[in-house]
Structure 1
Amino acid sequence: MPVAEHPAAMQSGRAPVQLVVQQHVDEAVQLRRVRSVLVRAPHVRLHRLARLDERITAHLDGIGVAGAWGAALSLQTLESAGAAEFFVVTVRAIEDRDTGRLSRLLAAAGALPDGRVGLLSAFGWVEAAALRGLVQPLLDAHDPWWREVGLVACDHHGVDPGGTLIEALADADAGLRQRALRTAGRRGRTDLRAACMASMGDADSVCAFEAARAALLTGDRGASMAVLESIATVGGLHSHEALALVLKAVAPDRGFALLAGFANDRAHARTLVRGAGHLGDPHGIAWLIEQMHDPGLARLAGESFSLITGLDLAFLDLECDPPDALASGPDDDPNNHDVSMDEDDSLPWPDPGKIGVWWQANGHRFPAGQHFFMGEPPSRANCIRVLREGSQRERAAAALHLCLLQPGSPLFPTAAPAWRQQRWLDALAA
């Protein structure tokens, strides 16, 4: 779609405005892709996310200032139909209050998994004022996908979606039921706990998981735990999430018994190492230090050790150089189709010798048989501190601990725009 050059730019001899706007579009898309990685990273803290969000905002504003040109150039990116492209285009449609364009984007995204992700994140990015008059028609729509978008918009901005949420829990569309159950848990809707528990037998496996998670987050400590344990041990799409939840909520002895079920299969070694961190019982520390000698487990074992003790291994010089000839993440081989990022990328390499010495001197501060999280037994004050100061993975764990400590409280959104997170953190600490 050709876009005319700005007359003033042509008369002044400056580079065409189209090139400047195109740069804003390209940078906004690329930075949104970067954000999708950093928001789950083990080394990124809120202040760094804030700097990235400021850059994304600046480029989105640049597209907006360009008006129709910016909208046209951003629409061209949909040839790639990725999450970042849909995010940029949808933000502009919302902020331009272009309901026709937004309706077309809803239709296009509904058929594309990545498109759904990008469009939904755009509704969470914009300020609540930009959504006035746009969300209620979504909640009232006949199309289940439109109602799902309306629920997500309400969840992102802490707004009660009203009767739509209750009706969606029993809808014939599995996708809408999944979203409704997820929303009920995230919003801490204790009044819907019984409805969530009734949905744990849903024929759709994702619905069953979302129902059990919602019931747990809203205060159930019985049937939901049994369902989550089953999901964790059987394996599948949500097994890791289910295990992390259960290990945070069960008594330590029950947690060790659950982990013992994975001990006889080397294929589950990472599950065991990760699970030791989620459980947080110092009884597993000596074993974690042993795993730091294994290059395939070392960094993950270091992360689990830090989740329990709260130590920053890099800051305290408890790390060592990586092994020689280490293969990590995607490479340049065109015949290698595995382009996934290394889960342990950016984690420090722990020095088991130094850490063992530290543990011998300080282990008495961590009595076995109880949960520890970032150096202390989980508490509201500790969780808020980690939400302020921790890495993204640590912050996500803190948000879950906070809900488990206070059933009925909303799940803190660690992927939300940083400025909104800071505002809600200030409210939590007040």
Structure 2
Amino acid sequence: MMVAGSKQSGGTIERRIVQDVVRQHAEQAAFFWAQRDTLAAEDPPDGNVVAGVDRRLEPNLDGLRISGTAAWPFIEAAYEDFPEKGELFLFAWLAIEQDNDSKVRRAVELGRASDDDARGLVGALAWHKAETISPLVRRWISAQDAFLRYLAVATCREHGVDPKSLLTNLLRDPDGRVRANSLHLAGVLKRADLTHDVISALDSDDGRVRLWAAWALNELGRGDLARAELRKVAAANGPNALTALRALIQAGPQDDVRAFMGGLLKSPDTTSLAVRGAGMLGDRSILPWLVQQMRAPALAVAAGGALLETFPEARGIDGLFTLDPTTLGPDFEEHFGDFAVKVPVAENVRTWSDSVLQK
């Protein structure tokens, strides 16, 4: 559809393209990947929705594949106009797809300048098959450049690839971001042989390193050593609080976990975290309590997340959630303003819960 024809010139094939179509492929591919990345990061994510976005993304990537090098002016223009994660993903994806070393180096520099751990660049490395990006990872994983080492480790984590003996040195890397991601990878891979190094990382001055050391220890069956750090991170209610709380719940024992969450519930700074964490306990009897929390604007989103985790079947029920909180009354309008946020409709959930609890 986007290729109007081709002609031979100097031993190479030049493709004549329909510019507006290729531009649309570039814009939509960047948009869809950014959308799927955001959706995948939701807690909990909706796998069916993510898969639906993937099905819309792939045809646009195919269109850019077919366009070949003729797609680059549109890719570069898209990034210049809107240098965000979706546009970085697209730039890096095509550079890797075409095995274009200079463009890959440019993508690396764009990622280095980003302020989100080069999410789009890592996403492009994750999107490609492991065998496609393995030459890059092998070259980067022992590089002098800490950013390249970070990209290599993050890519191994995304693909679930074990760098074997190299991971030992990466756990001791002087760069905090590399160490944190290496610890995360060690936990994902269940590398019990690295337990001693993971324990040592709990003494780091870097909070990211301590968090992922605790998380990895929990994955390695040493939750007893991880609990103190996990509690500290959860109680601080920062960006990684949910990760820490989920690991803490997994570590147990359940009586201790519930006592800790009771403490979170008593503090205004952590009440919403405790409400969201309630959905991680797997206790379906909390549904009436969750409905009560949904009536408080500050707790509604957390209660909705807890509902979806405890009752996955609620996703398919029309009317349980709204994207327009202002329809729920002046308190919700004041709290959310004109932001489109997915919020549970307490009365509808209560009605639905009557049939659920009778089963």
Residue 107 (structure 1) aligns with: 109
When the two structures are superposed, what TM-score results if normalisation uses the length of structure 2?
0.83
Structure 2: gaps (5+ residues): 8-15
1:294 aligns with 2:299: no
CA contact (8 A) 2:294 2:345 kept: no
Matches within 5 A, 1:68-147: 68-79=69-80, 80-114=82-116, 116-147=118-149
Residue 215 (structure 1) aligns with: 217
Q: Deviations 1:314-358 (Å, cap 9, x if unpaired)?
A: 639878995245438673xxxxxxx7x63xx16554546435644
CA contact (8 A) 2:95 2:101 kept: yes
Give the 3 Å change call, closer, same or farther, for CA 64–196 of structure 1 in structure 2: same
- Structure 1 stretch 320-329 or stretch 55-64: which is displaced more? 320-329
Amino acid at match of 1:188: K
- Structure 1 stretch 101-110 or stretch 157-166: which is displaced more? 157-166
Residue 154 (structure 1) aligns with: 156
Amino acid at match of 1:60: L
1:191 aligns with 2:193: yes
The CA deviation at 1:58 is: 1.4
1:354 aligns with 2:348: no
Residue 239 (structure 2) aligns with: 237
1:49 aligns with 2:50: yes
Matches within 5 A, 1:401-420: none
CA contact (8 A) 1:81 1:114 kept: no
Residue 259 (structure 2) aligns with: 257
| 1:304 aligned to which of 303, 306, 309 | 306
Amino acid at match of 1:323: L
Instruction: Tell me how far apart the structure 1 counterparts of residues 351 and 221 of structure 2 sit (CA, whole Å).
Output: 41
- Structure 1 stretch 233-242 or stretch 195-204: which is displaced more? 233-242
Instruction: Tell me how far apart the structure 2 counterparts of residues 313 and 152 of structure 1 sit (CA, whole Å).
Output: 31
Q: Deviations 1:350-399 (Å, cap 9, x if unpaired)?
A: 5464356447645xxxxxxxxxxxxxxxxxxxxxxxxxxxxxxxxxxxxx
The CA deviation at 1:60 is: 1.4
The CA deviation at 1:296 is: 4.0
CA contact (8 A) 1:184 1:214 kept: yes
Instruction: Tell me how far apart the structure 2 counterparts of residues 175 and 67 of structure 1 sit (CA, whole Å).
Output: 35
Residue 226 (structure 1) aligns with: 228
Give the 3 Å change call, closer, same or farther, for CA 92–242 of structure 1 in structure 2: same
Matches within 5 A, 1:306-345: 306-308=308-310, 311-312=313-314, 315=317, 323-324=328-329, 326-327=332-333, 331=338, 342=341, 345=342
Give the 3 Å change call, closer, same or farther, for CA 138–313 of structure 1 in structure 2: closer
Q: Deviations 1:59-115 (Å, cap 9, x if unpaired)?
A: 112112112211232122221321111100111111111122212221231122247
The CA deviation at 1:46 is: 3.0
The CA deviation at 1:132 is: 4.2
Instruction: Tell me how far apart the structure 2 counterparts of residues 228 and 194 of structure 1 sit (CA, whole Å).
Output: 18
Residue 10 (structure 2) aligns with: none
The CA deviation at 1:215 is: 0.9
Structure with the higher fraction of residues in strand conformation: 2
Residue 408 (structure 1) aligns with: none
- Percent identical among aligned pairs is 25
Give the 3 Å change call, closer, same or farther, for CA 346–122 of structure 1 in structure 2: farther
Residue 38 (structure 2) aligns with: 37
Residue 13 (structure 2) aligns with: none
Give the 3 Å change call, closer, same or farther, for CA 312–231 of structure 1 in structure 2: same
CA contact (8 A) 2:26 2:60 kept: yes
CA contact (8 A) 1:140 1:147 kept: yes
Residue 67 (structure 2) aligns with: 66
Instruction: Tell me how far apart the structure 2 counterparts of residues 76 and 298 of structure 1 sit (CA, whole Å).
Output: 40
Amino acid at match of 2:262: A
CA contact (8 A) 1:169 1:180 kept: yes
Give the 3 Å change call, closer, same or farther, for CA 103–293 of structure 1 in structure 2: closer
CA contact (8 A) 2:203 2:210 kept: yes
Residue 272 (structure 1) aligns with: 274
The CA deviation at 1:179 is: 1.4
Give the 3 Å change call, closer, same or farther, for CA 59–261 of structure 1 in structure 2: same
The CA deviation at 1:309 is: 5.0
Instruction: Tell me how far apart the structure 1 counterparts of residues 349 and 73 of structure 2 sit (CA, whole Å).
Output: 55
SS at match of 1:159: coil
Give the 3 Å change call, closer, same or farther, for CA 253–284 of structure 1 in structure 2: farther
Structure 1: gaps (5+ residues): 10-14, 332-338, 363-430
Structure with the higher fraction of residues in helix conformation: 2
Give the 3 Å change call, closer, same or farther, for CA 282–20 of structure 1 in structure 2: closer
Instruction: Tell me how far apart the structure 2 counterparts of residues 103 and 318 of structure 1 sit (CA, whole Å).
Output: 47
Amino acid at match of 1:187: L
SS at match of 2:317: coil
SS at match of 1:153: helix
The CA deviation at 1:265 is: 2.7
